[in-house]
């Protein structure tokens, strides 16, 4: 792409904002979108001029590759507003880099930094009123890339569409989260696409998760598909386990998404003087720790879910309830993290980035 093309962003504003129709106190996650979106097409081997325009449906050919062969990747980020009305992102470079790693794994073109970052910045500035102040209020950011090339033949598309859409959001999970530990179904294969943030990884979880839901569990903690003995991650969260006063989380691998929240919590735990070990955690250890009372907490960590404490887990038809702890590591870390993201405490890590 010629830099001139990516640097200039075409902007078409809506005639009237729909913001007044939105009840910001009653938002279902991911269901309301702001006035504008960013769009940038990849055609003839080149990224075209990015365009910011009114959020609206768009046309695709019935043979578009995304429908048939699933070339589709995305990211999940959030924007926060501080008390001075400035807008902040949290480690956006991590999302940008992961997006392009996903692109490579799915044989899609990498999105230039100018398109992703400048595009996002401009879009956020335009729709800044959609970001509300106060802890718990965020704007969820969904960059995604889909294969738009025509033809029902199983090979990579020539054409792609990159988009960023924005959705004002409160918490992702509300209410108690009980999890089921996977004994048969799996999320990812060795040498597969589990580490990529690609659409197909999610649809594959829906059916097993619906079975879990019927048994009263909201989420599944996936295990390695070869032996089902190692705890890996949940549907949209990495997972941490606290045994006595040590936190454990699985190392990232080809099967596990390298979560930004996970890696931030690891660094924060270290700085806070919490004991943390990154190593494979066995299902048997978890069951054992629960039985002998040393299992104190389990929590999920992800951009959408933030930190989501888990009330108990089921394994081989046995339910293991977690104790109520007064010094919850989940709560300590969640408070630090969200306060930092909302600029209520100092960011000593250099993770928060101002939109300007």
Ligand X SMILES: Cc1ncc(COP(=O)(O)O)c(C=O)c1O
Query: Considering Cα of 30, then 34, then 38, then 41, what sign does the dihedral take?
Result: positive
Q: Give CA–CA dist 73/331, Å, rounded.
A: 31
Question: CA gyration radius for the chain?
Answer: 21
C-beta closer to ligand X: residue 249 or 290: 249
How many other CB atoms sit within 10 Å of the CB of residue 254?
14
Please choose which of ligand X, a copy of itself, none residue 237 contacts, taking the beta carbon within 5 to 8 angstroms, the exact cut-off set by kind.
Answer: ligand X
SS3 318: strand
Residues 236-265: x where in contact with ligand X by CB under 6 A, - otherwise, as a string: xxx------------------x-xxxx---
Q: Give CA–CA dist 13/276, Å, rounded.
A: 48
Please choose which of a copy of itself, ligand X, none residue 55 contacts, taking the beta carbon within 5 to 8 angstroms, the exact cut-off set by kind.
Answer: a copy of itself
C-beta closer to a copy of itself: residue 234 or 295: 234
Q: Is 168 in the site for ligand X (CB under 6 A)?
A: no
Residues 59-88: x where in contact with ligand X by CB under 6 A, - otherwise, as a string: -----------------x------------
CB of 254 to ligand X, least distance (A): 13
How many other CB atoms sit within 10 Å of the CB of residue 147?
25
Q: How many CA atoms lie within 13 A of 79 on its CB side?
A: 30
Q: Is 341 in the site for ligand X (CB under 6 A)?
A: no
CB of 301 to ligand X, least distance (A): 6
C-beta closer to a copy of itself: residue 1 or 163: 163
- Find the binding residues for ligand X in span 286-325 (CB under 6 A): 302-304
C-beta closer to ligand X: residue 166 or 304: 304
Binding site for ligand X (CB under 6 A): 76, 233, 236-238, 257, 259-262, 302-304
């Amino acid at each position: 792409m010629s830099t001139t093309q990516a640097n200039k962003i075409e902007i078409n504003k809506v005639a009237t904002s729909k913001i007044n129709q939105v009840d910001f106190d009653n938002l279902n996650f991911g269901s309301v979108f702001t006035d504008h979106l960013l769009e940038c097409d990849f055609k003839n081997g080149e990224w075209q001029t990015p365009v910011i325009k009114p959020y609206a449906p768009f046309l695709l050919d019935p043979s578009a590759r995304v429908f048939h062969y699933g070339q589709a990747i995305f990211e999940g980020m959030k924007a926060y507003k501080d008390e001075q009305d400035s807008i902040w992102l949290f480690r956006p470079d991590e999302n940008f880099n992961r997006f392009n790693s996903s692109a490579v794994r799915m044989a899609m073109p990498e999105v230039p930094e100018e398109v992703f970052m400048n595009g996002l910045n401009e879009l956020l500035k335009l729709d800044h009123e959609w970001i509300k102040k106060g802890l718990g209020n965020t704007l969820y950011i969904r960059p995604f890339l889909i294969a738009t090339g025509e033809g029902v033949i199983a090979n990579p598309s020539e054409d792609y569409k990159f988009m960023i859409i924005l959705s004002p959001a409160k918490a992702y999970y509300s209410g108690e989260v009980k999890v089921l530990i996977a004994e048969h179904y799996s999320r990812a294969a060795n040498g597969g696409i589990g580490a990529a943030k690609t659409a197909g990884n999610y649809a594959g979880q829906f059916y097993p998760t619906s079975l879990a839901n019927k048994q009263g569990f909201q989420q599944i903690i996936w295990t390695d598909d070869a032996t089902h003995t190692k705890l890996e991650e949940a549907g949209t969260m990495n997972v941490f386990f606290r045994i006595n006063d040590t936190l454990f989380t699985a190392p990232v691998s080809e099967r596990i998404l390298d979560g930004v929240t996970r890696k931030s919590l690891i660094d924060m735990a270290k700085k806070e003087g919490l004991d943390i070990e990154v190593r494979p955690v066995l299902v048997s250890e978890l069951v054992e720790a629960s039985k002998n009372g040393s299992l104190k907490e389990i929590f999920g960590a992800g951009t959408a879910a933030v930190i989501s404490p888990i009330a108990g887990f089921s394994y081989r038809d046995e339910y293991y309830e977690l104790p109520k702890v007064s010094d919850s590591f989940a709560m300590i870390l969640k408070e630090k993290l969200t306060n930092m993201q909302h600029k209520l405490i100092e960011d000593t890590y250099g993770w928060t980035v101002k939109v300007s």
